[in-house]
Amino acid sequence: MRIIVYGAGAIGGTVAAALTLSGQEVVGIARGAQLKAIQDDGLLLRTPEKTERAKFSCVSDPTEIDFRPDDAILLTMKTQDTLAALERLRVAGVTGQPLFCVQNGVTNERLALRLFPEVHGVTVIMPAAISAPGEIAAHSVPRHGIFDIGRYPGGSNAHDAKLAEALEAANIAAFVSQDVMQSKYGKLILNLSNILQAALGLDADYKHLEALLRAEAEAAYRAAGIPWLDVGAADARRAQLVKQQPIAGIDRLGSSTTQSLARGGGSIETDYLNGEIVLLGRLHGVPVPANTYFTELGARMAREGLKPGAVSVAEAEAQLSALGALPTR
Ligand SMILES: NC(=O)C1=CN([C@@H]2O[C@H](COP(=O)(O)OP(=O)(O)OC[C@H]3O[C@@H](n4cnc5c(N)ncnc54)[C@H](OP(=O)(O)O)[C@@H]3O)[C@@H](O)[C@H]2O)C=CC1
Ligand SMILES: CC(C)(CO)C(=O)C(=O)O
């Protein structure tokens, strides 16, 4: 098996580097400064314990790859970039190869299954960031992360087992799941806070707003009949396998959404995180004003190039009160 990592950023870069360092054949797909850096000198994987350089082949588009029947393709771009990437895979002649959505949210698998038959979901617990072009900071020890892996929409097959084996050899804890979407819906509840941190800042006190977003999500899930699995603090595997630690010389890590706003690339994943709850609310008649407000705020911040922390908690509270999502003070 060869592993194609499409989107060699924070998660894709960690996975591509760790797999390469374990002896696995990897081809990355990247763009911009990240592509140039990887092509020039590989990817530097920095962890709290060590720094290692991984050299693997990296291209700018799937059409540069001569795909083989036993390739496994990992999608590791943010959700707003998935559809364009899937279309490029189709142009490149990918057909029945397994496609793994190593991404947050629950939209990617459905998008992929429209175009490809062998789609798998992966729930990603892996705090990581691009610290500079060609350099990834992976903050978790003793493992780089925990992945739950399963076939979409349910069950599992030999492709899941094979990928899990390769990831385990690369220090990523991998568990084959018979219902991976349950854990992805659980992870989505955690990711509703991404925009809180991104908009209000790393040190803001937004626990009350987090509770609001989660309560709306749980009401929407119940109305839609969607089961979910708690993969937060209640997940006993975390304490053993993913302890987030600082890396000398690297600034404090923010969520993937904070990273997007800090980079200012003009797009954000919030439409597919909090926006998923907005969609469910609209489909099932459940009021979700707080998720709607933060989804629209995320879009505005990306559009206007606002940096993380540009909005105050008081401003967000005032807007939410006006929408009836919070009691008026
Ligand atoms: N970072 C984290 O700690 C975690 C992230 N996740 C999830 O993992 C997924 C990936 O996030 P993350 O790694 O943070 O994102 P990043 O933005 O760090 O990495 C994605 C990379 O893919 C590149 N890319 C996108 N489209 C293409 C394309 N068509 N061709 C080539 N390269 C492309 C992006 O380039 P460009 O920058 O130019 O857009 C970027 O370098 C998301 O769903 C996220 O929510 C899950 C858990 C933790
Ligand atoms: C939950 C969290 C914040 C963990 O890294 C994440 O999934 C993200 O950064 O998107």
The CATH number of whichever domain residue 208 belongs to comes to 1.10.1040.10
What is the reported pLDDT for 123?
Answer: 98
Tell which of 152, 178, 204 closes a domain. 178
Counting atoms of ligand 1 from 1, which one is nearest the CA of 125?
A: 47
ipTM (interface predicted TM): 0.99
User: Residue 273: pLDDT band by 50, 70, 90 thresholds?
Assistant: very high
Asked if 137 and 6 sit in the same domain, the reply is: yes
Nearest CA to ligand 2 atom 3: 255
Tell which of 110, 144, 178 closes a domain. 178
What is the reported pLDDT for 328?
Answer: 75
Nearest CA to ligand 2 atom 9: 255
Asked if 143 and 29 sit in the same domain, the reply is: yes
What is the reported pLDDT for 118?
Answer: 98
Mean pLDDT across the stretch 202-218? 98
What is the reported pLDDT for 252?
Answer: 78
DSSP 237-301: HHHHHEEE---TT-PPP--HHHHHHHHT-S--SGGGTHHHHHHHHHHHT---HHHHHHHHHHHHH
Is position 113 within any domain? yes
User: Residue 298: pLDDT band by 50, 70, 90 thresholds?
Assistant: very high
Counting atoms of ligand 2 from 1, which one is nearest the CA of 256?
A: 9
Nearest CA to ligand 1 atom 1: 256
Asked if 86 and 231 sit in the same domain, the reply is: no
Mean pLDDT across the stretch 60-76? 98
Residue 191: CB within 6 Å of ligand 2?
yes
Is position 277 within any domain? yes
Asked if 243 and 168 sit in the same domain, the reply is: no
Residue 260 structure tokens? 């997007």
What is the reported pLDDT for 256?
Answer: 97
Residue 31: CB within 6 Å of ligand 1?
yes
Q: What is the DSSP letter of 208?
A: H
Counting atoms of ligand 2 from 1, which one is nearest the CA of 255?
A: 9
Residue 104: CB within 6 Å of ligand 2?
yes
What is d(CA 70, CA 90) in angstroms, rounded to the nearest whole number?
A: 16
What is the reported pLDDT for 253?
Answer: 75
- Assessment of whether the complete model's pTM goes beyond 0.90: yes
Is position 154 within any domain? yes
Nearest CA to ligand 2 atom 7: 191
Q: Which of 125, 235, 245, 255 has most ligand 2 atoms within 8 Å of CB, for mutation? A: 255
What is the reported pLDDT for 18?
Answer: 98
Q: Which helix (H) or strand (E) holds 224?
A: helix 207-224
Compute the distance from residue 210 Cα to the ligand 2 centre, in Å: 14
Residue 255: CB within 6 Å of ligand 2?
yes
Give the residue among 48, 18, 14 at the shortest CA–CA distance from 34: 14
Residue 229 structure tokens? 């699995």
Mean pLDDT across the stretch 88-113? 98
Task: State the helix-helix crossing angle for 158-169 and 10-21, rounded to 10 degrees.
Answer: 80
Asked if 191 and 164 sit in the same domain, the reply is: no
Asked if 62 and 120 sit in the same domain, the reply is: yes
Asked if 18 and 167 sit in the same domain, the reply is: yes
Asked if 284 and 268 sit in the same domain, the reply is: yes
Is position 30 within any domain? yes
Residue 197: CB within 6 Å of ligand 1?
no
Counted domains in the chain: 2
Is position 329 within any domain? no
Is position 60 within any domain? yes
Q: Which residues are paired to 244 by β-bridges?
A: 140
Range of the domain at 171: 2-178
What is d(CA 222, CA 257) in angstroms, rounded to the nearest whole number?
A: 26
Asked if 204 and 170 sit in the same domain, the reply is: no
Nearest CA to ligand 1 atom 33: 7
Nearest CA to ligand 1 atom 9: 103
Tell which of 178, 212, 235 closes a domain. 178
Query: For 105-153, what is each residue's pLDDT tens digit?
Result: 999 999 999 999 999 999 999 999 999 999 999 999 999 999 999 999 9
Whether pLDDT at 187 is above 90:
yes
Asked if 9 and 130 sit in the same domain, the reply is: yes
Average pLDDT along the chain: 97
Asked if 172 and 188 sit in the same domain, the reply is: no
User: Residue 286: pLDDT band by 50, 70, 90 thresholds?
Assistant: very high
Is position 262 within any domain? yes
Is position 26 within any domain? yes
Mean pLDDT across the stretch 242-261? 93
Mean pLDDT across the stretch 198-210? 97
Domain of 168: which CATH number? 3.40.50.720
Whether pLDDT at 283 is above 70:
yes
Asked if 278 and 156 sit in the same domain, the reply is: no
Instruction: Note whether 102 and 7 are within 8 A (CB).
Output: no
Whether pLDDT at 329 is above 70:
no
